[in-house]
Structure 1
Amino acid sequence: MTLKIYGIAASRTSRPLWVAQELGLDYQHIAQVYEGGGTRTPEFLALNPNGHIPVITDDGIVVWESMACTIYLAERFQGPNGLSLAAQSHAERADILRWSFWAVTECEKDALTFLMHRIAMPEERRKPELAQQADRRLALVLQVLEQHLQNRDYVAGERFTVADICVASVLAWVQRADAMAACPRVAAWLERCLTRPAQLQVRVMARNRGKT
């Protein structure tokens, strides 16, 4: 076995793990934690000098940054019977790239703020006004995806691809946001993504390995 995925499932490592589960890959999951300096050891910094998870290694190739790991796995591997999450045309590749980067640049910061200050942090540490501000900003951003999904079921092409994994992994953090409630197409698409068996398996892994 040469493919290794480092990082706990209850983190951005869930993204490459989701691809691996969708494709039924043979891989070793190394549940590398980041608390307590776990990613600042010389051994881990030799893999990722930034000291962050996830990291994947594949027969001598090292990839870090969660979206890069996710897209790499989708392009590198296929599942049973040629199942592919990667682009099959230039048009699909354009959609995969632009929407994956959109999720990072337009959504992730506010989605994480909402998650932390509405759900994840202990209540005494939350700042509700920060969650509300993030929710308001996301209301405009999510309308872009709402319009994109007007006549389609998935983000790229006519099938489930790595683009759906990249975008859904971010928007999963804001399922309870008012911004999501105002976007029924996005909400329905997100529900389809998050109820896929591979994603449910990653959630079980997250519960078993601790939380971010």
Structure 2
Amino acid sequence: MALKLWHCAGSRSIRPLWTLLEMGLDFELETMLFPPRFAHPGYTELNPIGTVPFFTDSSDPANLVSMTESSGISQYLADKYGPTDLAVLPSEPAYGEYLNWLHRSDATLTFPQTLVLRYTILEPEATRLPKVAEDYTKWFFSRLRSVELALSDGREFLCADRFTLADISVGFALHFAELLSLKDGFKPYTLAYVERLKQRPSFQQATANDGSQNILEGL
């Protein structure tokens, strides 16, 4: 099978997994325990930096595609294997907004969450830093205002008047916040938006193991 995704439950690999499912593409999925660089023998030979996700496309034997960035993999799938309504085209008015959400989802929203995860759960008890976790929780919620503001005009999705990769990318950040027990800080429009996303069958399939086998428990 040409498309293969290495995935850990509860991790950023949910973004490309959700995308693959929404697009109905054929792919091979390898589900690993977290952190895969320790729990999955041979993983760092495939992906030397040991992060998750890892994705390959071997459809062209002369050009093996290997990728590690979750939103980038989703964009690659939409652009390479579309057309799909998940992508917003350069000719559409919402194109700039769409790209901004794709990059904001990780650089601005998921980034502070990873520090909360590290300094409340991943680090040994003796080296945890509650003040760092508290500061970056505040950082996350201050940046999350952008989502609440975007949805406050009554729109159902973030841009282009339809469900797109922007919703997958930001939707994962909100799902991850829920895994980190940060959902109580969601404002009303954001909370309603999350509940809408959770009704999508592909989201449910992509996150099916997150309640019992997520990155918070696979250590």
* Bucket of the pairwise TM-score, normalised by the shorter protein: 0.7 to 0.9
TM-score by length of 2: 0.77
Number of positions where the alignment pairs a residue of Structure 1 with one of Structure 2: 203
Structure with greater proportional helix content: 1
> Is 1:54 aligned with 2:53?
yes
1:166 is aligned, of 166, 169, 172, to 169
Q: How far 1:15 sits from its partner (Å)?
A: 1.1
Equivalent runs, 1:1-212 vs 2, <5 Å: 1-33=1-33, 34-36=36-38, 38=40, 43-44=45-46, 48-58=47-57, 59=59, 60-78=64-82, 83-88=84-89, 89-115=91-117, 127-151=129-153, 152-175=155-178, 176-177=181-182, 180-181=185-186, 183-206=187-210, 210-212=213-215
Please give the per-residue CA displacement for 1:154-190, whole angstroms capped at 9, x wherever unaligned. Answer: 1121011011011111122223437733x21112112
TM-score by length of 1: 0.80
User: Equivalent residue of 2:93, what SS?
Assistant: helix
Question: Aligned Cα RMSD in Å?
Answer: 2.9
Q: Which runs of 5+ in 1 are unaligned?
A: none
| C-alpha distance in structure 1 between counterparts of 2:6 and 2:114, whole Å | 21
Q: Aligned letter for 1:147?
A: L
Closer, same or farther in 2 for the Cα pair 1:63/1:14, shift >3 Å?
same
Q: Which runs of 5+ in 2 are unaligned?
A: none
Closer, same or farther in 2 for the Cα pair 1:191/1:14, shift >3 Å?
same
Closer, same or farther in 2 for the Cα pair 1:196/1:127, shift >3 Å?
farther
CA contact (8 A) 1:142 1:180 kept: no
Q: How far 1:86 sits from its partner (Å)?
A: 1.0
| C-alpha distance in structure 2 between counterparts of 1:207 and 1:144, whole Å | 27
User: Equivalent residue of 2:55, what SS?
Assistant: strand
CA contact (8 A) 1:6 1:56 kept: yes
Q: How far 1:68 sits from its partner (Å)?
A: 0.8
CA contact (8 A) 1:56 1:64 kept: yes
Q: Aligned letter for 2:146?
A: V
